[in-house]
Amino acid sequence: VSVAGELRNALREVDPTMPLADVATIGQLMRESGAQRRFGALLVAGFAILALGASNSRVMRLVIFGVTATDPVTYVASAGVLLAAILLATVGPARRAARLPPAVVLAGE
């Protein structure tokens, strides 16, 4: 008998009306919680491989027409766009989290 089965049996003895759903081991919960991060990492890796593979192709030459490999304006503009995206993605959630009282945050965990 599995641990989940034993747990269900023990809870039925204590309170037969208590609902019990989504029983999982710590290992299963950890795998599920990391699944989204793994998917994101695989997605980034896939795009990185795509970008590296396309960097010497004719497609990239058509997309970045007129841009040289040592174009400083392109590097500065790219860094600026990345910085803006990072700030937009992090500042809003950080400000909302900073406004919450610590007791509310701890109670939610």
* 23-64 pLDDT per residue, tens: 777 787 777 778 888 888 888 988 888 777 766 666 666 666
Q: Which two tokens stand for residue 70?
A: 């040592």
Mean pLDDT, all residues of the chain: 81
For residue 102, the one-letter residue type is P
Q: Which of the pair, 106 or 89, is modelled with greater confidence?
A: 89
> Minimum mean pLDDT among 62-66, 68-72, 82-86: which range?
62-66
Q: Is 21 left (phi over 0), alpha (psi -120 to 50) or beta?
A: beta
Q: Which of the pair, 72 or 87, is modelled with greater confidence?
A: 87
Q: Please determine, for residue 87, whether its predicted confidence score (pLDDT) is greater than 90.
A: yes
* pLDDT band at 1; cut points 50, 70, 90: low
Q: Please determine, for residue 75, whether its predicted confidence score (pLDDT) is greater than 80.
A: yes
Spatial distance between the Cα atoms of 33 and 103, rounded to a whole number of angstroms: 24
